[in-house]
Structure 1
Amino acid sequence: MSQPALTNWQALVADAVEFRRELHRQPELTWAEQQTAASIRERLTALDIPWRACADTGTVATLNPNGRGRHLALRADIDALPIVEASGVAWSSEQPGCMHACGHDGHTAALFATAQWLKQHEADLPGPVTLLFQPAEEGGHGAKRMIEDGALNGVDAIFGWHNWPAIRYGQAVCPDGTVMAGNGTFKIEVIGRGGHASQPELCRDPVLAGSAMVVALQQVVARRLPPQQATVLSVTSFDAKSGVTVIPDRAVLEGSYRLADPSTSDTLNALIESVAHSTAEAYGVQCEVSVYPRYDATINHGDEAARYRQALQEEFGAEALASDVVVPIMASEDFSYYLQQIPGAFALIGSDDGQGHNVPCHSPKYDFNDALIAHVARIYLRLVGAPLPEFTPESP
């Protein structure tokens, strides 16, 4: 190398931070990440890292393809959310109604920093390393499409991460078993008979029936499922707009559920349908129920999770695993698809440094903590057995 390793590393991290902010300015929604993909591919080409398109806007790159050691994969997600940004940062979104409100810009930048360093030390890698820049994590099942397009071909194990504002900077969680919940959504159309508000006896009120359904559904977890199985069911929308003197014909309820144990899914889906139909019958209305399972729980494999925890402690110190955040987190991740196919592990790495990086993901005021880029890149380097750069972390 023409420069000392430390200087090279500092420049590399600074470049990755700038790349992160460029991505933040130009976010793109699920399955529309065309410019994001082009930027990633342009940078990989400049580094002379071979890549191929995968699942349309996804990108798969591999270093040391002929290495004899285990073939490991590292993943970042690249899509943004339909949120109007209110963070006030200088690099705020320039795309109306679209924002990197979950930190996927930071995940991408951290993987790119890893790629830059790995390319410099490709000959020192014990085995092949595949980098997955994945689209459509935000409900688009991008991981599933990547797998279908061969992203895991020849890969022995995979690692991923998510920044987590509810965890202190310098700490992380990476348990054996379930780290994040599975999820699904539902929609219930309540079909009644509308009429004048002064004559309810001539109507079949879908607002009253829908209200009873909300109350009944909110009791499903508390009274119909074992308390040992972490589950959340929330009715999040009730649409029955009408005139102030008019009982409407229809009401529409929508909501979501989260569950830590995949075996609970069929039971919960059946209960949603049963409760809705039974309540409708009791109130003299009809209903149509649609349940949409989305992602399964993200379940770590023991050996890979142990290896990940070791890398976290080597990076952050003995207190790295001291977080009191309870797992599984009830949010969901399509990284679950990868872990259903091959061994691997997923970590939640804290971003709360006491300087405003505790704003939760999916908030219009959220912004990624750039200090994580160098840390996560070094953790990834440990996981794949690459030489480490010198690094003096910033104080939280």
Structure 2
Amino acid sequence: MIGWNKAVQQAVDLRHWFHRHPELTWQETNTADKIRQCLDAWQIDWKTCATHGCVATLAPNAKGCHLGLRADMDALPILEKTSVEYCSTDLGKMHACGHDGHMAALLGTAYWLKQHESELSGPVSLIFQPAEEGGHGAKAMIEDGALEGVDSIFGWHNWPALPFGIAVCPDGPVMSGNGTFHVDITGQGGHASQPEAARDPVLAAAAITLNLQQIVSRRLPPQAAAVVSVTSLIADGNPTIIPETVRLEGGIRISDPRWREQINESIVQICEDTAKTYGVEAQVEIRPRYDATVNHLAEAQYYRDALKAELGEGFDRTDLLLPIMASEDFSYYLQKVPGAFALIGMSERQGEDFGYPCHSPNYQFNDRLVERVMKVFVRLVGLNLPKA
């Protein structure tokens, strides 16, 4: 049986392997193989779930509460700009959100817990999930049985906006829900010198963009945390041509599920009515993505107790406004079983900063976080902290 420090180093080495070999949403073939090879080598039983995912189980016959711990697996279509020695070997793909660190921490925990399996009071499911980055991987995992027998579930995300040693795990919403909207505006093209002979979709698109900004400021109460952003306006014209069509795209963020329907209805109404005033037509498509990630009260307190024991008094002293407006498909799990999700800080001012935001080509995961999270997981499943 190797010591704790070697177990941590093994996990960090795996993190670097995952970082070198990023795979995009629903393409995590080699990532899945690597995870399963580790589980096989450590004699941990697992089952395939949602093709690239898997669920490993420890102490399946223990009588206590059955806990689930989850890590996501997919990378992003980003060209890495870091200079780390384990930089991505696949140009245009990068673990720019730290899922490599999430997998490494859970694998390190799996290895340690296997050596202490007889001490577990209840079963532990280790959930390795593909397709978090917009692919609804959690939903697919649940549909394929990932939560069978699980009484409560816990997850986390590294958060560069928080200093190392700080974490947040609130009661209620921790991350927002999201969605996207796509608006095709059709008018009548023509010569730029004769706008009166055309029905200009560019002008209508500009007006729609401005009007959509009034949803949050004028149609929702001030207490509602929400965002409606137009992020793309595509008009295939040129300096002398008024185009036939324009496409608008944008994103929605909501802190509470109750605002989704009102925002969606407002988007459709504003787009269609504004289009009519400009003599054009608007076809609106709204694609809901993830609901808000909402912690359960008892589980959030249990998680905070584990974080406090590891990080110390004042671990949650931060001016970070919650819920953050980013989204997570961990929300699917929390709609099915009680649980909680935490944001755990990793930025440092000594040496490398680790402060670049997630989804940045300069993002770097802080390896020191692997051991911290492993220890928190050990506390969550009810074991004493290991000796180095």
TM superposition score normalised by structure 2:
0.98
Does 1:374 pair with 2:371? yes
Name the structure 2 match of 1:350. Answer: 345
Distance of 1:240 and 1:390 partners within structure 2? 62
1:290 matches 2:248: no
Question: In 2, distance between residues paired with 1:350 and 1:325?
Answer: 11
AA aligned opposite 2:68: A
For residue 25 of structure 1, the aligned residue among 20, 26, 29 is 20
1:253 aligned partner, one-letter code:
L
Structure-2 residue corresponding to 1:394: none
Partner of residue 251 from structure 1, selected from 242, 246, 250: 246
Which structure 2 residues correspond to residues 63-142 of structure 1 after superposition, within 5 A? 63-142=58-137
Match of 1:212 in 2: 207
Q: Deviations over 1:81-134 (max 9, x none)?
A: 111111121111111211100000000000001001100100000100000000
After TM superposition, the structure 1 = structure 2 runs for residues 1-396 of structure 1, keeping only pairs within 5 Å, are 1=1, 8-354=3-349, 355-390=352-387
Give distance in 2, aligned partners of 1:241 and 1:84: 27
Structure 1 Cα separation of the partners of residues 319 and 6 of structure 2: 35
SS in 2 for 1:179: strand
Q: CA deviation at 1:241?
A: 2.6
Deviations 1:199-236 (A, max 9, x none): 00000111100000000001111111111110011000
1:363 aligned partner, one-letter code = S
| 1:121 and 1:387 in contact (8 A); partners too | no
CA distance in 1, matches of 2:298, 2:74: 30
CA deviation map 1:315-353 (0-9, x unaligned): 010021112111101100000000000000000000111
Name the CA distance, whole Å, in 1 between partners of 2:270 and 2:82.
Answer: 41
- TM-superposed deviation, 1:387: 2.7
| One-letter amino acid matched to 2:384 | P
1:156-180, Cα deviation, whole Å (9 max, x unpaired) = 0000000000011100000000000
TM-superposition CA deviations, 1:25-77 (whole Å, max 9, x none):
10000000000000000000000000011000001000000001000000000
Structure 2 portions without partners, runs of 5+: none
AA partner of residue 360 (structure 1): P
Between the aligned partners of 2:287 and 2:345, the Cα distance in structure 1 is 31
CA distance in 1, matches of 2:169, 2:360: 24
Q: Any unmatched runs of 5+ in structure 1?
A: 392-396
1:202 counterpart letter in structure 2: A
Shift of 1:390: 3.1
Supply the distance in 1 between the matched residues of 2:245 and 2:298 (Cα, whole angstroms).
52
**Are the counterparts in 2 of residues 184 and 257 from structure 1 also a CA contact under 8 Å?**
yes
SS in structure 2 of the partner of residue 341 of structure 1: coil
| Offset of residue 243 of structure 1 | 1.9
| Residues 158-167 or 314-323, more deviating | 314-323
Separation in 2, partners of 1:243, 1:189: 18
Which consecutive aligned stretches of 4+ in structure 1 deviate over 6 angstroms post-superposition?
A: none
Aligned equivalents of 1:241 and 1:248: distance in 2? 6
Describe the superposition over 1:240-287 as per-residue Cα deviations: whole angstroms up to 9, x where unpaired: 032210000010000001001101111110000000001100111001
Residue identity over aligned pairs, in percent, reads 58
Q: Structure 2: how far apart are the matches of 1:87 and 1:218?
A: 36
Write the distance in 1 (CA, Å) between the matches of 2:203 and 2:237: 14
Aligned residue for 1:227, secondary structure, equals coil
The root-mean-square deviation of aligned C-alpha atoms, in Å, is: 0.8
Q: Hey, what's the Cα distance between the residues in 2 that align with 1:47 and 1:97?
A: 33
Normalising by structure 1, we get a TM-score of 0.96
> How far apart, CA to CA, are the structure 1 residues paired with 2:334 and 2:303?
14
Is the partner of 2:315 in helix, strand or coil? helix
The answer (yes or no) to whether the contact 1:124–1:387 under 8 Å persists in 2 is: no
